[in-house]
């Protein structure tokens, strides 16, 4: 039922103009093999939701450098000078979002919430165009959910039912992105048998995962 | 002791046993080197763990563990990993006792600008906006001026990171506290005078009486 | 076959391989007994897990594993446990393909009342309101009448669980689909007539043509 | 630093009129020893936030029967007839909250959110007194955060730094309640050494926990 597919089959699901969520913090926790697959396939005009664009030769940075990204939603682009250059030249449309707000917007998208109130960004440019609400005398911004066509996930251990366990700091945006996209493809660093991950310690239940691809260990 | 070490060392004295602290990248990172031995300070890394330890030796680098600057670090016994939603729940929810950050500009009511210079540098705010709003105490660890020009202003001119959230400013010249009644110079460095500080500080400030000597 | 078994057996035919299903307590629980062998249906228990299995033998009860009715159950290989925030994120976020619930009343536009009778019974909604709003398909598994009185009404009179969320009603007399164009009787039980159904159904409904025989 | 305390010391922190969060689903995941401690101490007029009142002789049900609860916030009280009886007689003020909304309100309280928009309860009595917002043409209720003075938590395994691991279905409201109260006391079913819980599998980081009490295994 849970489908193990080849990299080519995974790439068949990606098309020009799609909105794609890709986790990772400076490349840590990013599914590099899937990103390489996108570079190789050459799909264009992608809308990418991620927390940062890593470096030109790492993670999501490779998609930027290769000119495949039309719109970018991220919290930080400073470590990849190419992103800033392409933004300034009008080649990439960048929306900057505070990291905690980005995480929460993705979670809201996956959890069926219509939005949430956060104090982050009040009194800054982040509040532009947003509804402001006062609760108990305190100002909050109404932030709306984010969803995607596809989420590309990286699991340290993945079983045949799609259950995922993440090691150390690789977890970051993986868990929430796996809940917020129509199609979820996980790159398994290590494939394990069902039961090898204690059901208590499963971090992304297999019900969220549509396809599994074997990545490089 | 160089300027940066002096600042870091002074900031380190702000913490008490059990405090949960988030250090920004750059100068703030140095603060970890000066925590007193008799207290335990728990460092949070906003990319997803608590009990961050020092950098590993080059042959012991685990590519799965980096700090918020993307550099290899270790974790100490009792550490816990979590995802970014939980991490920023910790931050925004007031569970971080203090955050230490750098600044491009700060003003006398505690407004902070440290994430962009329009037309020049737009790295993005990363986790800074959440940290400044969420942490119980916001400490700036920064050099007093930028190329001789004041950074402590009457009013920030750059886009803000957050409004009225800064509590303490530590520079190589002294320590300022932001209070509802105004900015107060609490401590002065042994090699500085109040007149020298006034000359490189645009903001108005009250001089505490007594004015303490900044500890080294 | 008794009435409850007939209803449960018919509901079980609604699922396809890989569906994630939440069963309410009471009659809906019986549905699990009639899933075809050649498909895998994943049962979610809203108190915090997926891949719920059957009740254990009395000597194999694990007090840490109960279903949403508080009764001992087991988990199947590939199960995963989570907390209530994640569990209701799954439910409200549309990750549950179908929920099967009982009803006190349901009406022809799909309004459902199943959580309280003012002045008499106020057990609370538990997870029902989230389930009915969040699940992709809401199936009612219920006896056609209560003590001979219609439960399928023109308009619910009891406090609602949710508005216009019901998709399918399965009773011992037939199967109704709620559509934007009205309620349609799709299937009829072998021992019922349309006239009999009309006599115990207050709501207006369209009779499908052809009207299928309800499978047993 | 993390304090192991006796049951008496834990009870010294509970006072009349306090708001207390207690997890558990029909008693599963409820810290029974701490509840028994409250019954023994006899504090009154408590405001209790929980998902259900279990049964008269189980979990939170015991506090109800003993007349210690003034206000109750719960999603379900039907399994404990005493709660309904006392509500009808005006002895307990009951606010019923959909279970998913209750979980999310507690999470919001712990995560510094000012509230969130949920579709649950729209068109029902749950919307009474609440602000209604329309996002993308869909109606949502604005639900506000919940916090407490004290949260009483039940950990299947707890280490000396307060890190917690929960077994099976005991997790339910424990994780979120541990984030949403001024003082968090955990009842350890099993006390373990630091390191016995893999840092990856810690479910409540010790930073949330103020005190640890040894419970009955």
Would you call D53 an interface residue with chain C, using a CB distance cutoff of 8 Å? no
CA gap B99, B122 in Å, rounded: 22
Q: Which of D25, D87, D120 sits opposite C130 (nearest CB)?
A: D120
Distance from CA of A10 to the nearest CA of B (A): 25
Residue showing tokens 């040894």: D214
Cα nearest neighbour of C41 on chain A: A1
Residues of chain D in contact with residue A133, where contact means CB-CB under 8 angstroms, are 114-115, 142
Is residue A20 within 8 Å of A48, Cβ to Cβ?
Answer: yes
Decide if pLDDT at B208 tops 80. yes
pLDDT in tens, B69-124: 999 999 999 999 999 999 999 999 999 999 999 999 999 999 999 999 998 888 99
Judge if the upstream peptide bond of residue A159 is cis by omega within 30 degrees of 0. no
Compute the average pLDDT of residues D104-109: 98
Structure tokens at C66: 């109960």
Nearest to C42 by CA among C7, C17, C5: C17
Cα nearest neighbour of A94 on chain B: B124
pLDDT in tens, D36-87: 999 999 999 999 999 999 999 999 999 999 999 999 999 999 999 999 999 9
What share of chain A in percent tops pLDDT 70? 98
Low-confidence ranges of chain C (pLDDT < 70): 1
pLDDT at C120: 87
Q: What angle do CA A27, A32, A33 make, to 5 degrees?
A: 175
Domain residue extents for chain C = 3-36+96-213
CA gap D145, B111 in Å, rounded: 27
Interchain proximity B93–D112, CB inside 8 Å: yes
The set of catalytic residues of C is 46
Q: Mutate which of D114, D144, D201 to disrupt the A interface (most A C-beta within 10 Å)?
A: D114
Q: Is C148 exposed, middle or buried (0-12, 13-18, 19+ CB in 10 A)?
A: exposed
pLDDT in tens, A126-175: 999 999 999 999 999 999 999 999 999 999 999 999 999 999 999 999 99
Compute the average pLDDT of residues D83-101: 97
Interchain proximity C46–D118, CB inside 8 Å: no
CA gap B176, B169 in Å, rounded: 5
* Residue A56: half-sphere exposure toward Cβ, Cα within 13 Å: 9
Would you call D100 an interface residue with chain C, using a CB distance cutoff of 8 Å? yes
Evaluated on CA atoms A27, A28, A30, A34, the torsion sign reads positive
Decide if pLDDT at A119 tops 90. yes
Decide if pLDDT at B216 tops 90. no
Decide if pLDDT at B186 tops 60. yes
Q: What angle do CA C70, D197, B44 make, to 5 degrees?
A: 105
Is residue B76 within 8 Å of B51, Cβ to Cβ?
Answer: yes
Structure tokens at D63: 């506090």
Interchain proximity D112–A119, CB inside 8 Å: yes
pLDDT at B119: 85
Residue showing tokens 């039912």: A161
pLDDT at A217: 56
Structure tokens at D7: 């049951």
Compute the average pLDDT of residues D8-23: 97
Residues of chain A in contact with residue D200, where contact means CB-CB under 8 angstroms, are 165-168, 201
Interchain proximity C81–A111, CB inside 8 Å: no
Compute the average pLDDT of residues A76-82: 96
Q: What angle do CA D51, D54, D56 make, to 5 degrees?
A: 140
Residues of chain A in contact with residue C48, where contact means CB-CB under 8 angstroms, are none
Residues of chain B in contact with residue A174, where contact means CB-CB under 8 angstroms, are 83
Q: Which of C78, C89, C134 sits opposite A194 (nearest CB)?
A: C78
Cα nearest neighbour of B88 on chain D: D111
What phi, psi does D55 have (nearest 5°)? -125, 165
Would you call A161 an interface residue with chain C, using a CB distance cutoff of 8 Å? yes
Q: Which listed CATH number (3.40.50.2300, 3.30.565.10, 3.40.1080.10, 3.40.50.1860) goes with B3-36+96-213?
A: 3.40.1080.10
Nearest to C188 by CA among C158, C208, C168, C159: C208
Strand partners of residue C150: C145
pLDDT at D1: 47
Q: Output the average pLDDT for chain A.
A: 96
pLDDT in tens, B125-141: 999 999 999 999 999 99
pLDDT at A1: 47
pLDDT at A215: 83
What phi, psi does A5 have (nearest 5°)? -130, 165
pLDDT in tens, D134-182: 999 999 999 999 999 999 999 999 999 999 999 999 999 999 999 999 9
Residues of chain D in contact with residue C130, where contact means CB-CB under 8 angstroms, are 98-101, 120
Tell me, what DSSP letter sits at residue B6?
H
Cα nearest neighbour of B71 on chain A: A26
CA gap B197, B171 in Å, rounded: 10
pLDDT at C189: 97
pLDDT in tens, A5-25: 999 999 999 999 999 999 999
Residues of chain D in contact with residue C162, where contact means CB-CB under 8 angstroms, are 120, 122-124
Residue showing tokens 């990171």: B161
Distance from CA of C90 to the nearest CA of A (A): 6
Cα nearest neighbour of A139 on chain D: D114
CA gap D25, D36 in Å, rounded: 17
Nearest to A4 by CA among A192, A203, A205, A202: A192
pTM of the predicted protein model: 0.98
């Amino acid at each position: 039922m849970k489908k193990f597919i080849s990299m080519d089959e995974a790439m068949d699901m990606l098309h020009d103009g799609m909105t794609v969520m890709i986790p990772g913090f400076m490349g840590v926790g990013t599914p590099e093999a899937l990103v390489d697959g996108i570079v190789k396939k050459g799909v264009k005009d992608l809308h990418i939701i991620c927390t940062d664009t890593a470096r030109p030769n790492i993670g999501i940075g490779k998609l930027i450098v290769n000119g495949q990204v039309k719109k970018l939603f991220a919290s930080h682009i400073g470590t990849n000078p190419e992103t800033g250059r392409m933004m300034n030249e009008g080649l990439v449309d960048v929306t900057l979002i505070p990291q905690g707000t980005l995480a929460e917007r993705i979670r809201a998208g996956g959890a069926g919430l219509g939005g949430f109130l956060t104090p982050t960004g009040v009194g800054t440019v982040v509040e532009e165009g947003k509804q402001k609400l006062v609760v108990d005398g305190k100002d909050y911004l109404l932030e709306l959910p984010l969803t995607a066509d596809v989420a590309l996930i990286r699991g340290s251990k993945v079983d045949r039912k799609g259950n995922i366990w993440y090691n150390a700091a690789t977890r970051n945006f993986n868990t929430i992105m796996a809940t917020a996209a129509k199609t979820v493809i996980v790159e398994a660093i290590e494939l394990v048998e069902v039961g090898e991950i204690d059901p208590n310690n499963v971090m992304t239940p297999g019900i969220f995962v549509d396809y599994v691809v074997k990545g490089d260990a | 002791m160089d300027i940066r070490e002096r600042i870091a060392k002074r900031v380190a004295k702000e913490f008490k046993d059990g405090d949960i602290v988030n250090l920004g990248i750059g100068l703030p990172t140095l603060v970890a080197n000066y925590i007193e031995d008799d207290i335990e300070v728990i460092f949070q890394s906003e990319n997803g763990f608590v009990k961050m330890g020092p950098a590993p030796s080059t042959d012991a680098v685990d590519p799965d563990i980096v700090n918020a600057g993307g550099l290899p670090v270790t974790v100490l016994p009792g550490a816990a990993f979590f995802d970014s939603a939980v991490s920023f729940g910790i931050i925004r929810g007031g569970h971080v006792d203090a955050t230490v950050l750098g600044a491009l500009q700060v003003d006398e009511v505690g407004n902070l600008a440290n994430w962009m210079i329009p037309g020049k540098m737009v790295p993005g705010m990363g986790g800074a906006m959440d940290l400044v709003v969420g942490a119980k105490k916001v400490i700036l660890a920064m050099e007093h001026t930028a190329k001789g020009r004041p950074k402590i202003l009457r009013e920030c001119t750059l886009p803000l990171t957050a409004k009225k959230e800064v509590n303490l400013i530590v520079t190589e010249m002294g320590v300022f506290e932001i209070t509802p009644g105004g900015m107060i110079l609490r401590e002065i460095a042994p090699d500085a005078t109040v007149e020298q500080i006034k000359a490189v500080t645009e903001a108005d400030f009250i001089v505490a009486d007594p004015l303490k000597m900044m500890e080294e």
